[in-house]
């Protein structure tokens, strides 16, 4: 009877020395570390993209006003812009999602998170099982949502797109 009551009672009412609670806490802490590392990697990728875009603008500026003229650079600028639009459309076709920066950031984050889970041999299924078993009200994704602003669920980490 006591075991049945413990299973029905939320985690907050279970004893402090419960091994399941300790394991859940360890897994949540490790997941938070992985999330922070994945976010750092995504930010590095995004800053690199900004750097490349700035180099492109600087290069086009230099070529337009010093090396060549606008008559030469106009078709190059046009086709570069058209290539960006085609890449956005291709992203939409492959992913069935809007090519927004927020969506790209979320997809990059989930990709990095999955790779780090695999690299660190993190058991996502076990974390989800413990959360369900303990009926915890603690949201595992609350930390990353507060730090990053991404709405990422634990189920997203389990599914590859």
112 shares a domain with 50: yes
76 contacts: CB under 8 Å, gap ≥ 6: 60, 63
72 contacts: CB under 8 Å, gap ≥ 6: 63
**Structure confidence at residue 118 (pLDDT):** 93
**Structure confidence at residue 132 (pLDDT):** 80
114 shares a domain with 41: yes
131 shares a domain with 68: no
Helix (H, G, I), strand (E, B) or coil at 1: coil
Is 9 within a domain? no
Q: Name the residue range of residue 132's domain.
A: 122-160
Rg from Cα positions in the chain: 23
Is 51 within a domain? yes
Is 100 within a domain? yes
**Structure confidence at residue 137 (pLDDT):** 46
**Structure confidence at residue 44 (pLDDT):** 96
Number of domains within the chain? 2
CA pair distance 61, 74, nearest whole angstrom: 11
161 contacts: CB under 8 Å, gap ≥ 6: 95, 107, 110
Per-residue pLDDT of the chain (161 residues; tens, 9 = 90+): 777 776 666 555 555 667 777 888 888 899 999 999 999 999 999 999 999 999 999 999 999 999 998 999 999 999 999 999 999 999 999 988 888 888 889 999 999 999 999 999 998 888 888 888 776 645 555 666 666 666 666 666 555 54
115 shares a domain with 77: yes
Q: Cα–Cα–Cα angle for 104, 83, 78, nearest 5°?
A: 130
**Structure confidence at residue 127 (pLDDT):** 86
149 shares a domain with 115: no
* Beta strands per DSSP E along the chain: none
């Amino acid at each position: 009877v006591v075991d049945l009551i413990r299973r029905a009672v939320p985690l907050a009412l279970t004893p402090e020395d419960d091994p399941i609670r300790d394991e859940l806490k360890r897994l949540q802490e490790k997941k938070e570390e992985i999330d922070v590392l994945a976010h750092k990697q995504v930010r590095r990728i995004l800053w690199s993209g900004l750097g490349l875009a700035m180099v492109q603008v600087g290069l086009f500026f230099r070529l337009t006003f010093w090396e060549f003229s606008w008559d030469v650079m106009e078709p190059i600028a046009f086709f570069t812009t058209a290539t960006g639009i085609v890449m956005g459309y291709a992203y939409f076709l492959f992913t069935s999602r809007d090519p927004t920066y927020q969506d790209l950031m979320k997809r990059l984050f989930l990709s990095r998170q999955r790779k780090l889970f695999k690299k660190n041999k993190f058991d996502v299924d076990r974390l989800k099982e413990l959360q369900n078993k303990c009926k915890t009200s603690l949201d595992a994704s609350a930390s990353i949502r507060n730090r990053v602003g991404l709405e990422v669920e634990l189920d997203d980490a389990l599914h590859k797109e």
